[in-house]
Structure 1
């Protein structure tokens, strides 16, 4: 098993005692090899939504039962592969970091949601999917939420994107100005920024409650315009439509407000379905459907804050927790003629797998001077094999290794019910079978499944061995960053 991840110092010592020296000695970490493809490079449209729970969409048991059918997304789900066991990191920043770097966020110092006033976000030493695709000849753009650094030097146009427009942090900040004592002189409103590679990003306007309602429609239009330009230029593209809904406050566009008659949440769901449909229609209209990979996913589990809380379907928990409701998300991928249609799989996949998978497909390169936690899932996605390249995942909340999942079994080292609850270390880890105990009920411990902890501990051992060779990057590390093994400091990105 080539899965890797992190352990808080206090937990690491205990876990280390459980892992034998033999396991550590036999653990290896390497990047998946990639090779250039002789055919035309496929375009990539990646639609990522923010805090959408597993049970929200019609095809996952929601839709009409949540007050708004989602016909466009549901139809799209039947045109390719839909996963029922897609896993992400349980918070926005770690999830986005892991997808773009192929590395668990604990490695890059992006394991928790950052706040302003520090050198938060990805160091320029990290290699992102956008950088790799750009080097492979792709036009790259991000429209929407970034959340991986809010200062010049750590924005999307500093991390491989040719252009971007959106917010550097997150949406709840629009609520600051609604409080009577708020002063922009103390804490300025979050800006909507726009930037191009090689230039500084500039403020367009303040992201306020009004702009919150308008944002996703604007992002869809900008994503479409980018695809139109690249299709006309006959250049392969990576369009990252990083939408902001349904993150709190969940406020629909005025065109959709009141449309369903079931409140803001249902109106937002109808708006999301429409925005996705518009982008899919653009792909068809441009005549690039057969050569465009389209991915739809949520960055983590359901929203927790009331009255905007979401639904995790059959699973327990919300984002910021290691429960399935915090990490298991909707995921669909379409590539006509390459990825078989109408396929549904419960095989385990993780967000870190996207970079290695797309690198394999496009001929882009993965860095080989650091651990890559992701696995190439291209053969699985394209139906050449029926099994995922991985059997399990490690799950962190902040910098705690909180749980391990292997096949249908899961082992919790801590119990944390919500994002505002303390993480209580368990004197006896909680082992559950997710097939028979999807709510991860602590009163239904599966003691007979103790045999399954061996491969779980082996995964932990592989990670710990890798950290000895490649130390973790502390949160807040400034640029330029130089790994201990590097004889020369890395060059500053253009």
Structure 2
């Protein structure tokens, strides 16, 4: 893993110019950068903005679902300005693992955390020395900033040298009782490539970090820091104010960046805790949609995404910024219909709105409603506008896809499970990825291979059960064809096991 070596610079720059239309001046600046110097702003390398929603369904956006009861004009506008992927994957139906895939280009079950969201105060999912997306961009000369939710592990200091109170749980009455709020945290976002970070590591821990320092806490109805000491001077932010708070800070970052001269390109990671439960809709948005609190929360998210996109335009940054929008998994809300097999805990108070429409299942499941995400990629003049692509894409492909644009050469095996799918962002479909592994919140795995999808359901004390679906003709996974196509099941079963047991990248 290294910056482009001088001996290959001319060839790399030539290809870069052909792909991105950079003029002679831009090529000169790229040559300077490639020889180990920082290019000036506007050199042709784009800024990168990634917006990652939390538990938002495939069918929440009007651009993806004309039956959606949620007004999402800002994200829909972004979709009209970029390319929409209709078959993109998280590829795990729960928060932490999908974020790990995005940040490392690797399937999360290759980490120590084989399934499920990370619990309070657990160590990082990211292995020591493992390259992350922000580290890659930082090495390539970018400045990196993140706001919102990390949820990949941070080590907190304690007053007694023991594990933090509440360790390994999602809820504990004595949460954080022995946290030493005066000391710096470690192995968190700023140790994984972010120059700036403002947000929490895990929402149920409550602590808000400014860099590697605890600056405040988010106030939940359920989660508290009441048992902790030394918190008198920390800022307390009610959950319903958290989205406006991180949006304002993100906008401040963009404004300050736009004032800089001859500076680095930026990577901005905007990761709001919305529309994840508890639904903390700001009073200004309660009842606006008429489709329940969940719909109001999605609409509120769209409003603040719009503020960030507007600031990009006002600051003159939009033309040279790649914008990616996705969700970390499907929604846990939905109208429960016969055959949906929605897990226990699924919420249905959506006034007829179907967040995962037209897909089956939702968060926690390996069905499409749990693992398929809306994905929008926009870069004016470089990515096509207002088109749709059915190219398979996983969040684990983002790192490898952005590397050549940033001018960074990934070493072999750095992103074990990611492909460079930049041509897909450009509107081409060259089938570099034809399959992808998906996973529920537990040990249910699936393999999407072309139009087919196999799901493996382990059964305690019984033989493993397999389901097979033809997604081209049955996107709602309503017709299990496993008994009709035993040869297809056998072939895909073998391929799935090969990937799970080995280290080879899926096709």
Q: TM-score, normalised on structure 1?
A: 0.76
1:49–1:298 contact (8 Å) kept in structure 2: yes
Q: Distance in 2 between matches of 1:118 and 1:99?
A: 19
Q: CA-to-partner distance for each residue in 1:90-125, whole Å, 9 max, x for gaps?
A: 110000001110111112224421112542432332
Q: 2:454–2:489: 8 Å Cα contact kept in structure 1?
A: no
1:45 to 43, 49, 68: 49
Match of 1:92 in 2: 95
State the shift of 1:301 in Å: 1.0
Structure 2, unpaired ranges of 5+: 6-11, 17-29, 31-42, 156-184, 222-236, 334-345
2-structure distance, mates of 1:306, 1:462? 34
Contact persistence 1:134–1:140 (CA under 8 A): yes
Q: How many residues align?
A: 408
1:349-428 to 2 correspondences below 5 Å: 349-368=393-412, 370=414, 372-383=416-427, 385-397=428-440, 400=443, 402-414=445-457, 427-428=464-465
**Equivalence for 2:312:** 283
**Cα drift, residue 203 of structure 1:** 3.1
| Cα 1:116–1:58 shift into 2, 3 Å | same
Which residue matches 2:329?
A: 300
In the alignment, the residues of structure 2 paired with residue 456 and residue 381 of structure 1 have an alpha-carbon distance, to the nearest angstrom, of: 31
Equivalence for 1:193: 209
Q: 2:105 pairs with 85, 102, 105, which one?
A: 102
**What is the CA-CA distance between 1:462 and the residue it aligns to?**
4.8
CA distance in 1, matches of 2:490, 2:202: 38
Q: Is the 8 A contact 2:124 2:188 kept in 1?
A: no
Which is further off, 225-234 or 144-153? 225-234
User: Displacement of 1:399 after TM fit?
Assistant: 6.5
Cα deviation 1:224-255 (Å, max 9, x = unaligned): 21122222224200000001110011221222
Residue 329 of structure 1: SS of its match in structure 2? Answer: strand
- Post-superposition Cα deviations, 1:433-476, rounded to whole Å, max 9, x if no partner, equal 11233332365546248347536634642553428xxxxxxxxx
Residue 436 of structure 1 aligns to a residue whose secondary structure is coil
Q: What residue in structure 2 maps to residue 454 of structure 1?
A: 491
1:57 and 2:73 correspond:
no
Looking at structure 2, the residues matched to 428 and 289 of structure 1 have their Cα atoms a distance apart, in angstroms, of 49
Which residue number corresponds to residue 240 of structure 2?
Answer: 213
SS at match of 1:447: coil
Aligned-residue Cα RMSD (Å) equals 2.8
CA distance in 2, matches of 1:271, 1:397: 28
- Given that 1:122 and 1:154 are in contact with CA atoms closer than 8 Å, whether structure 2 keeps it comes out as no
SS of the equivalent of 2:242 reads helix
1:250–1:308 contact (8 Å) kept in structure 2: no
8 Å contact from structure 1 (residues 127, 367) kept in 2: no
Write the deviation string for residues 387-442 of structure 1: whole angstroms up to 9, x where unpaired.
Answer: 34200111233563611110110111117xxxxxx889764521111123333236
For the residues of structure 2 that align with 1:61 and 1:397, how far apart are their CA atoms? 24
| CA 449–344 in structure 1, closer or farther in 2 if over 3 Å, else same | farther
- Structure 1: runs of 5 or more not aligned: 1-29, 174-188, 416-421, 468-494
Deviation, structure 1 residue 153: 2.3
> In the aligned structure 1, how far is the partner of 2:134 from the partner of 2:460?
35
Question: 1:159 offset after TM fit, Å?
Answer: 0.5
Once residues 279 and 246 of structure 2 are traced to their aligned partners in structure 1, the CA distance between those partners, rounded to angstroms, is 16
Q: Which residue of 1 aligns with 2:259?
A: 232
C-alpha separation between the residues in 1 aligned to 2:145 and 2:110? 25
Distance 1:357 1:308, change over 3 A: farther
Contact 2:87 2:390 in 1 (8 A): yes
Q: Taking structure 1 as reference, are residues 277 and 423 closer, same or farther at Cα in structure 2, changes over 3 Å only?
A: farther
Match in the other structure for 2:85: 83
Show the counterpart of 1:159: 192
Aligned to 2:501: 464
Matched position secondary structure for 2:238: helix
* 1:229 counterpart SS class: helix
User: What's the TM-score once normalised by structure 2's chain length?
Assistant: 0.74
1-side partners of 2:462 and 2:55: how far apart?
Answer: 26
1:137 maps to 2:141: yes
Which of these residues, 478, 496, 499, is aligned with residue 441 of structure 1? 478
Deviations 1:116-164 (A, max 9, x none): 2542432332211100101111110110011000323221111000011
Moved more, 149-158 or 285-294: 149-158
